[in-house]
Structure 1
Amino acid sequence: MSIRHGLLALLDQGPRYGYQLRTEFEARTGATWPLNVGQVYTTLGRLERDGLVVPDGEDDEGHVFYAVTEKGRAELRSWFDTPVPRTNPPRDELAIKLAMAVTVPGVDVTSVVQGQRRHSMKALQDYTRLKGQALTAQESGSDLAWLLVLEQLIFQTEAEIRWLDHCETRLAQHRPAAPAAPAEAAEPDPEPAPSRARRRARF
């Protein structure tokens, strides 16, 4: 997630100070990716260093406002115009966990998958409920922004559940077959072969 470009997008609408940026960022994303003020000011420092924002005065309480520069606007437009690359996908903790679980002896991978599915189903229900509330309250651009984030989370969670179903099927296909039961030994013949031969000769 690009906090850098998210802050530039907010500053493109007018100067703001750190706490305002934090509050608006969380409002537009439904606090899905919470920020702390220190993180905001660290990012602002880097943006200022790169010439993308400049200090733009203070209010009576000493809050320093920041304004986007023309270079910052160009950076923002480039971000909007450039597709998010998929060549280096972000690390997915669940995928890493399952990749490790199938290689570590003693781990019940099926149990891991089923536990995650229950958690993901609960999350999907929560997201769907929040979407209903967002649709009811949709009045502004911020509400639309939150709705889009929610729908992305819903689609992502649905895809995760389908993938977990696939993982369980794959695990079943690769489960080692149970060893075949040993063949039963033939019962010993109580009568020795020479005795049988003599008995047949008498008849």
Structure 2
Amino acid sequence: MSVKHAILALLYQRNRHGYDIKVKFERMVHGQWPLNAGQVYTTLDRLIRDGLVKPVTDSGDDRKEYQITDAGREELHRWLLMPVERYLLKDAFFFKLLCAQEIDFHQESEILSRQRASLIRNMMQLRQLRAGLDPERHRSMIYLVEGGILHLEADMKWVEMLLEEIKEE
């Protein structure tokens, strides 16, 4: 996730002050990724330095507003068009299995069973989240949740395949 680009997108809509950016960001992601206020201001400072954002005259209530520049719009458009790379063979869970094999840790089925239980919990959480989303207002979040569920289902299939292989040994 790119906080930099999220801030550019929020400023693309209209000028905002830092706290408004934080609140709108958290609302946009339905509270799933809390954003530290310090990170907002640090990122804004970098965006100003890079010419992607500029401060707007103070509104008089001690809150400085920020505005996206033409260069910021171009950067946002460039980023939106770039494909997102996935780490196809860099999987944290698989790495854990490799480490277990390195030390002759003979509880692979327990590792797999616990991972399976975790996947089930995660799927239930996402399905519960999905049930509470309004299809009209939260279409983008629904896409994200459904994609997450599909990834978890694929992981579950993989873990079950590994469990079956262990049983056959």
Same structural fold, with TM-score higher than 0.5 when normalized by the shorter chain: yes
TM-score (norm 1): 0.74
Gap regions ≥5 residues in structure 1: 176-203
What CA RMSD, in Å, does the superposition of the two structures yield over aligned residues? 2.1
Provide the C-alpha distance between the structure 2 equivalents of 1:66 and 1:126, rounded to a whole number of angstroms. Answer: 36
Deviation sequence 1:7-63 (CA, Å, 0-9, x none): 111111011122211221121222222211111111111111111111113334312
Task: Compute the displacement of 1:92 (Å).
Answer: 4.1
The corresponding residue for 1:33 is: 33
Runs of 4+ in 1 over 6 A off after TM superposition: none
Deviation sequence 1:131-157 (CA, Å, 0-9, x none): 1221xx3343xx222222212221222
Task: Compute the displacement of 1:123 (Å).
Answer: 1.4
* Structure 1 position 42 matched with structure 2 position 42: yes
TM-score (norm 2): 0.87
The size of the alignment, in residue pairs, is 169
Query: Between Structure 1 and Structure 2, whose CA radius of gyration is higher?
Result: 1
Provide the C-alpha distance between the structure 1 equivalents of 2:9 and 2:79, rounded to a whole number of angstroms. Answer: 10
Deviation sequence 1:123-182 (CA, Å, 0-9, x none): 101211221221xx3343xx2222222122212221221221233234445x4xxxxxxx
76-85 or 163-172, larger mean C-alpha shift: 163-172
Task: Compute the displacement of 1:94 (Å).
Answer: 2.3
- 1:55 is paired with a residue of what secondary structure? strand
- Tell me the amino acid that sits aligned with residue 162 of structure 2: C
The corresponding residue for 1:63 is: 63
Task: Compute the displacement of 1:71 (Å).
Answer: 0.5
The corresponding residue for 2:147 is: 152
- 1:153 is paired with a residue of what secondary structure? helix
The corresponding residue for 1:179 is: none
Provide the C-alpha distance between the structure 2 equivalents of 1:53 and 1:80, rounded to a whole number of angstroms. Answer: 17
Change over 3 Å in CA distance of 1:48–1:90 after alignment to 2: farther
Provide the C-alpha distance between the structure 2 equivalents of 1:7 and 1:160, rounded to a whole number of angstroms. Answer: 32
- Tell me the amino acid that sits aligned with residue 47 of structure 2: L
Task: Compute the displacement of 1:99 (Å).
Answer: 2.4
Task: Compute the displacement of 1:93 (Å).
Answer: 3.0
* Structure 1 position 105 matched with structure 2 position 104: yes
Provide the C-alpha distance between the structure 2 equivalents of 1:51 and 1:35, rounded to a whole number of angstroms. Answer: 23
The corresponding residue for 2:22 is: 22
Identity between Structure 1 and Structure 2 (%): 33
Provide the C-alpha distance between the structure 1 equivalents of 2:47 and 2:167, rounded to a whole number of angstroms. Answer: 51
Provide the C-alpha distance between the structure 2 equivalents of 1:146 and 1:52, rounded to a whole number of angstroms. Answer: 27
Deviation sequence 1:59-115 (CA, Å, 0-9, x none): 3431221111101100111111121134x5696432322222222223512101111
144-153 or 113-122, larger mean C-alpha shift: 144-153
The corresponding residue for 2:54 is: 54
Provide the C-alpha distance between the structure 1 equivalents of 2:68 and 2:152, rounded to a whole number of angstroms. Answer: 35
Provide the C-alpha distance between the structure 2 equivalents of 1:123 and 1:35, rounded to a whole number of angstroms. Answer: 22
Change over 3 Å in CA distance of 1:61–1:97 after alignment to 2: farther
